[in-house]
Structure 1
Amino acid sequence: MPRRHLHMTGADGAALRAALRDLRTELKVPGEFPAAVLAEAEEAVRSPRLPALDATDVPLVTIDPPGSRDLDQAMYLSRRTAGGYRVHYAIADVAAFVTPGGALDTEAHRRVTTLYFPDGKVPLHPPVLSEGAASLLAGQACPALLWQFDLDAEGRVEAADVRRALVRSRARLDYAWVQQAVDAGTADDSLALLKTVGALRERLEQERGGISLNVPEQEIVAQNGSYALAYRAPLPADGWNAQISLMTGMAAAELMLAAGAGILRTLPTAPDGAVGRLRRAAKALRIDWPHHVPYAELVRSLDPRRPAHAAFLQECTTLLRGAGYAVFTGGHTPDPVLHAAVAAPYAHCTAPLRRLVDRYAGELCVAAVAGAEPPQWATDALEALPREMADGSRLANAAERECVDLVEAAVLKDRVGETFDGTVIDVKEQDPQVGTVHLEEPAVVGRVESHTGHLPLGDRIRVRLAAADPGRAKVLFAPA
């Protein structure tokens, strides 16, 4: 997709910041951390529970968006002497700083997840931890859960281990830099192997029927004191990095299942008729989908930079609805046990600075590898976690959706009546005169309503901006 930064005036920026403040109030977003929480965080920074194992000699690096400071993961890849590969993957050890039942822990259960707004984030943990002592910042020795994977020549996991260790990241990298270094042949051996192992894991994902959707992201970007919108098509490096996280989540699920207690991230199979609807969408978007070609294979053949393909990938996200968490104890296997998109048991365990459940999954995995009983605080909290995470996810999704709507309306508020080129990427089955249009410039995805006939799914059309009201946080288009 094209990437175009859009400028707004200072007045627009001020109005938008006021609207964002109102949105926080409307959504009942947590405010400042209570004094007791901040005091406990400061004390934790001074006296964290440090592990006995020193792994600061492992030359880890982090790969995150530019400017990120809440760094959950760091990695190092190497070749094994006997053949195959070894992956070291460090995950921030939040439990080293949080006392179960304390003020920090209670506040984390209230917040559940980090919320992202254009004018700043609402973190799960105080920044002194999430962007400081607990973050895997370059040059900083800090406690982590250090995973070690031994892979065969085809990228299959032969052995997985996780234990507490002191680690030190060597560098903070971003996806674009990694992609450029790999493409130019200037990447070091570890980053070059990230491409090799990532591609092998993608092939294994395809074999088991898993699906990773490379949906272009509509980003809100800060610019000159205001905000704008841009599209970002995922880079191959995004996918390689994601495969390491997926591999870890799958290993964590297997460890917890073998131990008989844990929490899985689950996704049911798509309901009847869902794939049929996608086939109709593919036909409307003029995407060739022979009946002998599996859905997963088709998805991998698409180019998210092409508008029709981007529209179809967006439609594919309808198959990912219904995700949740399943808790199990006493050796009982949950139902469902699989994550339909991963096509394997899977757990969230690689983002504990930003997501509450990951701290618990990591703790259960460490206990499972050690052959020990998990701590009581971890098992006691399991039953409530699915509900807590569901509430947190709903708030995070609402915040993201409303923020994008606000920025779209602010960008376009002075352009009502103008016409734009766009692609119809969705049409409501129950009302085919209502759908969604994707503009290439500006980077807006908005509602479109026709009063003269059905909307042509997949067609490029000219649309007129009928409304853009930042106060109501909506834009509306009509066929021109």
Structure 2
Amino acid sequence: MTQIPSKAQILEWVAEHPDANSKRDIAKAFGIKGAGRIELKRLLKELESEGQLERRRRHYLDAEKLPPVTVLELLAPDGSGDLFARPMEWRGEGPMPRILYLPRQTDPALGRGDRFLGRLIEVMGEDHQYEARLIRRITVSPNRITGIFRKDSEGGRIMPIDKGQDKEWRVRAGDTLGAENGELVQAEQTGPRARMGLPSARIIERLGDPSAPRAVSLIAIHQHGIPDEFPDKVLAEAEAAKPAPLKGRDDLRDLPLVTIDPSDARDHDDAVAAHVEEDGGATIWVAIADVAHYVRPGSALDREAWKRGNSTYFPDRVVPMLPEALSADLCSLHEDVDRPVLAVRMRLDAEGNKVSHRFHRGIMRSRASLSYEQAQAAADGTPDAQTADLMDSVITPLWHAYGLLKGARARRQPLDLDLPERRIELTPDGRVKSVNFRDRFDAHKLIEEFMILANVAAAEELARRQRPLLFRVHEEPSLDKMEALREVAQASGFTLAKGQVLHTSHLNRLLAQAQGTDFDELINISTLRSMTQAYYHAENYGHFGLSLKAYAHFTSPIRRYADLVVHRALIAAHGWGKDGLSPDEIERLDETAKHISETERRSMAAERDTTDRYLAAYLSERVGSEMSGRINGVQKFGAFVRLDESGADGLLPIRDLGQEYFHYDPDAQMLIGADTGLQIGIGQRVTVRLTEAIPLTGGLTLELLELEGKALPRGGGKGKRGRSPGRMSTKARLAEVKRATKRRRKR
């Protein structure tokens, strides 16, 4: 008679053979045949009902162990920089096991929250129970929600803080992670969205008091998944770094190099110098911090910099790409200290054309750390004590070279947008003190032109040497976007040429028409919106906006990983050391380009959201006030207004417009009153009342008081307002536009 194994023997065998644990496998292992299979089936069912085994399809697993292949989610690096993952499903009675993720060099980079299929190996004697290797990345990830938790008897609800999300999420009692009422939390969706009722979520992180100082940028950091803490291994590498020696480098310390930056800049990664030549031309030097000397391929510093992709800037903090030991010290070109650099010497002729360039790896010493205001005042003839001694050797030659570059720029005709930059000033406790627009001097433009020229030289140098690199690509806008811009221009009384190959000069003529008019800002913003988004790519597709055939980012390796790649490519091309671009990096260039393009967009979105929230907080004390602005966008749900004083964007909901129904015409970018024919469109001046400002979401809601200086007419819609429930064909919409136009002319 066949001996039936005990429950303990079955559990032991299942644990030792995770890949072969079906009922058939177990029966075969213990030699069970015939009627014995009935008894085995009974034992397995008992183990399953007791929770000691879990049946998955036709296999049995120990409920206290993970299967050898399972879906995992990567967690943030711990204090030592190690990567741990959590299983997406755990039904054991004991604590969830710790899983150390061990990436191979050839594995794609994974970040916090990424999900992957992993192969597990059980380990003993460690502070973790499993080690995982990547099988494949799972691209589909759950929806993440950041919001305010409201506790109730069944668990609670999350009120999202994203603009446009007004639906709450239900959290079960076991999924609250101990969150307190009113606390800011991050959660993820659990299960599919229900057709009826609230969607469900579980809290995965508690973020604290949403009204605390600096909470605004903290919200954006967590919402967009921006890494903001350096692992211990990364910090240790940065702290262990030593100043670079002069040996093997060119000595550039006699050059009159200076840095020119914002007055509150904490790091200085570029320095400039110029010399006036006898033929009226100039020699320009641009020296850039040699970050590649400290951040070596494959190091912990390099992996973290790659993951971040770039620094992210908020009004109250910076989330840097590199630790401060490097970004604010050894890689920062401070005044009167030796610093390693990659420098380019560029010769200009008397017309401002670059006729030659040469790259160097050297050591420099900055003569001065100047602010834009200081440099501009000196150039304008009012130097201070620091710049007075630099007039002949630094200021005058720099402005001479800038004059040459301005002439070359005018001939090249890059896109000449003029968009003032907002500056949000905070009080020490994190409140908004003021919202202003930054001054823009020739000193800013000088640095921009010098950096553009250096970036062009880097792209040309590496292309000439046929070396792999990352280009900065900006493709020309689509025909649809150009047609939309043309309609905005026509509505504003301007023209944009049609039916020809598009050049930046055509757009510049439009911008020149609008300059100094009431439509200046609108045309600049609309032109910017019509552009494609720039990105990084290993192939060269040119830069439309700058009107350049080849362009690469070389000048900011402290805050952009793309520049570090270009530095390494230059080092390898010139044979300057073993810290150049490695074969593994070259193989991953396409992946790196895609990744850092995504991190750049992530940072831009986080910075924009933070600015919106600060502006909403600033304006929340002025709810009920009247403000002037201009309509800069129209959608089927309402119109957007750019407020004059603060530059903030607010929404005029269609439901609150006038006393009639409004039809939305997407072709004309217009809302049209069904009774009066009133047209609300892009470019119109408005007076509005601020009715709502929500700092947590950054949302502003407005009420329309006057359009083009006139009060709104009363329609015959019997008090009904908002969008018409009926749908109109394109033909009907165009007919309505014509009728409305005729009615306006008659009035």
TM category (shorter chain) comes to: 0.7 to 0.9
Kindly indicate whether the alpha-carbon contact (under 8 Å) linking 1:79 and 1:86 is maintained by their aligned counterparts in 2.
yes
Of 451, 469, 478, 2:694 maps to 469
Matched, 1:410 2:617: yes
Change (3 A) 1:75 1:111: same
Aligned to 2:252: 55
Aligned to 2:342: 145
- What SS class does the counterpart of residue 427 from structure 1 fall into? strand
Counterparts of 2:303 and 2:575, CA distance in 1: 28
Kindly indicate whether the alpha-carbon contact (under 8 Å) linking 1:69 and 1:137 is maintained by their aligned counterparts in 2.
no
Aligned to 1:423: 630
Instruction: State, as a whole percentage, how many aligned pairs show the same letter.
Output: 29
Letter in 2 for 1:93: D
Change (3 A) 1:237 1:310: farther
Of 328, 332, 351, 2:556 maps to 351
Change (3 A) 1:127 1:372: closer
Counterparts of 1:286 and 1:140, CA distance in 2: 56
Cα deviation for residue 323 of structure 1 reads 1.6
Cα deviation for residue 179 of structure 1 reads 2.2
Aligned to 2:301: 104
Cα deviation for residue 384 of structure 1 reads 2.2
Matched, 1:169 2:366: yes
Aligned to 2:227: 30
Aligned to 2:420: 216
Kindly indicate whether the alpha-carbon contact (under 8 Å) linking 2:471 and 2:536 is maintained by their aligned counterparts in 1.
yes
Cα deviation for residue 80 of structure 1 reads 2.0
- Say which one has the larger Rg: 2
Counterparts of 1:199 and 1:466, CA distance in 2: 49
Matched, 1:363 2:568: yes
Of 455, 476, 483, 1:269 maps to 476
| 1:291-310 superposed matches below 5 A | 294-299=506-511, 303=515, 308-310=519-521
Of 581, 597, 600, 1:393 maps to 600
Change (3 A) 1:71 1:381: farther
Of 252, 263, 283, 2:490 maps to 283
Counterparts of 1:302 and 1:142, CA distance in 2: 46
Question: How many residues are aligned here?
Answer: 458
Aligned to 1:131: 328
Kindly indicate whether the alpha-carbon contact (under 8 Å) linking 2:305 and 2:561 is maintained by their aligned counterparts in 1.
yes
Counterparts of 1:17 and 1:360, CA distance in 2: 33
Cα deviation for residue 308 of structure 1 reads 2.4
Aligned to 1:317: 528
Moved more, 346-355 or 207-216: 207-216
Counterparts of 1:393 and 1:298, CA distance in 2: 29
Letter in 2 for 1:399: A
Matched, 1:252 2:458: yes
Cα deviation for residue 46 of structure 1 reads 5.4
Cα deviation for residue 211 of structure 1 reads 1.6
Kindly indicate whether the alpha-carbon contact (under 8 Å) linking 1:51 and 1:143 is maintained by their aligned counterparts in 2.
no
Aligned to 1:338: 542
Matched, 1:478 2:682: no
Q: Deviations over 1:211-258 (max 9, x none)?
A: 242211122223344334222253232222111111111111111221
Kindly indicate whether the alpha-carbon contact (under 8 Å) linking 2:423 and 2:436 is maintained by their aligned counterparts in 1.
yes
Q: Deviations over 1:323-355 (max 9, x none)?
A: 21221xxxxxx3x52111112111111110000
Counterparts of 2:341 and 2:576, CA distance in 1: 19
- What SS class does the counterpart of residue 519 from structure 2 fall into? helix
Counterparts of 2:236 and 2:343, CA distance in 1: 28
Counterparts of 2:521 and 2:638, CA distance in 1: 19
- What SS class does the counterpart of residue 379 from structure 1 fall into? helix
Aligned to 1:191: 395
Change (3 A) 1:201 1:320: farther
Kindly indicate whether the alpha-carbon contact (under 8 Å) linking 2:243 and 2:339 is maintained by their aligned counterparts in 1.
no
Counterparts of 1:318 and 1:476, CA distance in 2: 22
Greater percentage in helix: 1
Kindly indicate whether the alpha-carbon contact (under 8 Å) linking 2:628 and 2:685 is maintained by their aligned counterparts in 1.
yes
- What SS class does the counterpart of residue 383 from structure 1 fall into? helix
For normalisation by structure 2, the TM-score amounts to 0.57
Counterparts of 1:264 and 1:277, CA distance in 2: 29
Change (3 A) 1:47 1:41: farther
Aligned to 2:291: 94
Change (3 A) 1:449 1:175: farther
Cα deviation for residue 88 of structure 1 reads 0.7
Q: Deviations over 1:259-309 (max 9, x none)?
A: 222211111111114333323323333457688973224436765x86521
Aligned to 1:5: none
Letter in 1 for 2:560: R
Change (3 A) 1:25 1:322: closer
Moved more, 150-159 or 184-193: 184-193
Letter in 2 for 1:116: Y
Letter in 1 for 2:557: P
Change (3 A) 1:86 1:343: same
Counterparts of 1:49 and 1:384, CA distance in 2: 35
| 1:107-122 superposed matches below 5 A | 107-122=304-319
Counterparts of 1:156 and 1:44, CA distance in 2: 40
RMSD: 2.8
Unmatched segments (≥5 aa) in structure 2: 1-208, 663-670, 672-679, 706-747
Q: Greater relative contact order: 1 or 2 (C-alpha under 8 angstroms, separation 6 or more)?
A: 1
Change (3 A) 1:66 1:474: same
Counterparts of 1:254 and 1:132, CA distance in 2: 31
Letter in 2 for 1:75: V
Counterparts of 1:298 and 1:203, CA distance in 2: 20
Kindly indicate whether the alpha-carbon contact (under 8 Å) linking 2:216 and 2:610 is maintained by their aligned counterparts in 1.
no
